[in-house]
A and B are shown apart, each in its own frame.
Chain A
Amino acid sequence: MSYIEKLLLRMKIQSEKAEEEDWDGEAEKDPQKLSKSLETNINAIKKEFEDCCDLVIREFSFGKEGCIKAALIFIDGLTNQPLINDNIVKPLMYDSRFFRSDETSGVSDIEELRDRLISVGDLKTDQTYHELSQACLSGDAVLLVEGFDKALDISAKGWEKRAVTEPVTEMVVRGPREGFIENLRTNTAMIRRKVKSPALKIRPVKIGDRTNTQVNIVYIEGIADPALIAEIERRLSNIDTDAILSAGNIEQYIEDSPNSPFQTVRYSEKPDTIAGKLMEGRAAILVDGTPFVLCVPMLFIENFQASEDYAVRTSYATSVRILRVCAFFISLFGPALYIALVTYHQELLPTTLLITMAASSEGLPFPAALETTIMLISFEILKEAGVRMPRPIGQAISIVGALVMGEAAVQAGLVGAPIVIVVALTAVSSFAVTFVSDAVSILKWLLVVLAATMGSYGITLGALAIVIHLASLRSFGADYLAPFAPFQQDDLKDTVIRAPLWAMRTRPRALHPQDLKRQSFEIPFDPTVAHKGGQGEKK
Chain B
Amino acid sequence: MKLEKGSISGRALIFAVFCFMQGTMLRSAFIVVVTKNDSWAMAFTGLLGSLLLTAIYAALLRRFQEKNLFEINELVFGPVVGKVFSVLYLFFFLSLAALNTHDIGDFVVGYMMQETPLAAIILLFVLICVYAVRKGIANIVRLSTVLCIIAMSAVLINTVLMLNEIQPGFIKPLFQLPLGKYVQGTITVAALPMGEVLAFTMIAPMLGKNKKAGKMMAYGLVLAAVFLGIVLLRDILVLGPMAGVFRLPSYESVRYVKLAGILTRMESLYAVVLIILYVFKVSILLYACVLGLAQLVNFKSYQPLTLICGALVFFYSLFVYKSVMEHADWGATVAPIFSLTFELVLPSAALVAVSIKKTIRLRET
Contacts and interface: CB of A to CB of B under 8 A. Distances in A.
| A/B touching: CB–CB < 8 A | yes
Interface of A: 344-345, 347-348, 350-351, 450, 453-458, 460-461, 464-465, 467-469, 471-472, 479, 481, 484-487
Contact of B266 (A348, A450, A460): A348
A458 B124 contact: yes
Given A454-B113, A454-B116, A458-B124, A485 B268 contact: no
A458 B121 CA distance: 9
Interface in B266-316: 266, 268-269, 271-272, 275-276, 279
A476 to B, nearest CB: 17
Interface residues of B, number: 37
Given A454-B124, A457-B124, A487-B11, 4 more contacts: A464-B279, A468-B132, A471-B143, A484-B146
B145 interface: yes
Contacts of B262: 350
Contacts of A345: 112, 268
B140 interface: yes
Given A348-B268, A486-B9, A457 B113 contact: yes
The 6 lowest CB-CB distance pairs between A and B, nearest first, are A487-B145, A471-B139, A472-B135, A485-B142, A347-B265, A472-B139
Interface string B245-279: 00000000000000001101110110110011001
B112 A455 contact: yes
Contacts of B110: none
B131 A479 contact: no
Interface string B105-127: 00010001100100011001101
A427 B284 CA distance: 38
Given A456-B272, A487-B11, A464 B128 contact: yes
A439 B349 CA distance: 52
A9 to B, nearest CB: 17
A300 to B, nearest CB: 12
A479 B135 CA distance: 13
Contacts of B11: 487
B121 A471 contact: no
Contacts, number: 89
B131 A465 contact: yes
Contacts of A484: 143, 145-146
A464 B125 CA distance: 10
B12 interface: yes
28 contacts: A347-B265, A348-B266, A450-B124, A453-B120, A454-B113, A454-B116, A454-B120, A454-B121, A457-B112, A457-B271, A457-B275, A458-B124, A460-B276, A461-B125, A464-B279, A468-B128, A468-B131, A468-B135, A468-B140, A469-B131, A471-B139, A471-B140, A471-B143, A472-B139, A479-B142, A481-B142, A487-B15, A487-B145
Interface in B133-183: 135-136, 139-140, 142-143, 145-146
Contacts of A467: 143
B345 to A, nearest CB: 35
Contacts of A471: 135, 139-140, 142-143
Contact of B12 (A348, A458, A487): A487
A461 B128 contact: yes
A332 to B, nearest CB: 15
A455 B140 contact: no
B41 to A, nearest CB: 32
Contacts of A460: 272, 275-276
> Counting chain A CB atoms within 10 Å of each CB, which of B8, B121, B136, B268 scores highest?
B268
Nearest to B271: A456
B311 to A, nearest CB: 17
A25 B11 CA distance: 51
Nearest to B147: A467
A137 to B, nearest CB: 46
Nearest to B109: A457
A228 B124 CA distance: 39
Nearest to B279: A464
A350 B9 CA distance: 44
A344 B271 CA distance: 14
